[in-house]
Amino acid sequence: MMKELKQQTRAWISPSMKRPADEDENFRSLESLARADTELFGSLLNFADETLGGGCGRTFSHESADQVILIPLAGLIEVVSGDREPVLLQAGEIMTLHDERDSRLTISNPYVDRLVNYLRIVLTGSRKSNGSTRKASFELTQRNTLQPVLDATGVNVFIGCFNGRSDTLFNTSGDKRIFCWVVQGAFEVQERLLEARDGLLLGNTAMLEMEALSYDAIILLLEF
């Protein structure tokens, strides 16, 4: 790919075809971290690729004070957290919620005749941030770079759209864990091939090397 890697880190790959599914006729959740080493993924509790049928909703309970990140991939979702007012979130937007212990989160599909697809990411929360909510928008017009879309307590989120054969070197802010997830296309990350919906978890990584292998390849990166 590029030069020989000088740093060896612990790594774990989540192939898209091997993600366990929790599903019924109106809902499907594919969990990328179900078989990961709990010591390796640290504060990252869940990384779920979820789909809701038309007019359907799903409620999630949080036994601890968790931080939830929502990223629509296709369509529009309605989000209700605890006693807060409903919020609409569409593709090109990201929301983070710091829910209190024993709170409930409901995600609904406002469309009647189409599916919606989104990511629901859960991390161990911070007591100082309980009850707070943030929403931001982003565009993928700037190519061949990882752009920051969220800087929150304990986690940074980046996303990028790349041309084929584009190399990128990403420096983390210290020795952090990294989770890479391919939205579409294919990448080589740290000399490992990742295709659409594959994930790669890396422990204590100071530098990340990656190369897009297809045009319009999109990758999401969590630094935590």
pLDDT tens, position by position, 119-174: 999 998 765 556 678 999 999 999 999 999 999 878 999 999 999 998 999 998 87
CA gap 11, 41 in Å, rounded: 10
In this prediction, residues 68-89 reach a mean pLDDT of 95
Of the residues 81, 108, 137, the one at which a domain ends: 137
Whether 2 maps to a domain, the answer reads no
Asked whether residue 43 falls in the same domain as residue 114, the answer is: yes
Instruction: Tell me the Cα Rg of the chain.
Output: 17
Whether 12 maps to a domain, the answer reads no
Whether 11 maps to a domain, the answer reads no
CB contact at 8 A, 194 and 200: yes
Q: Mention every residue, 6+ apart, whose C-beta is less than 8 A from residue 111.
A: 54, 55, 75, 76
**pLDDT(205) > 90:** no
Of the residues 96, 115, 137, the one at which a domain ends: 137
Can you give the residue range of the structural domain that contains 49? Answer: 18-137
pLDDT-above-70 percentage for the chain? 92
Task: Say what the pLDDT of residue 37 is.
Answer: 65
What's the number of domains the chain is made of? 2
Asked whether residue 26 falls in the same domain as residue 125, the answer is: yes
Could you tell me the CA-to-CA distances from 37 to 11, 41, 114 in Å, in that order? 10, 7, 36
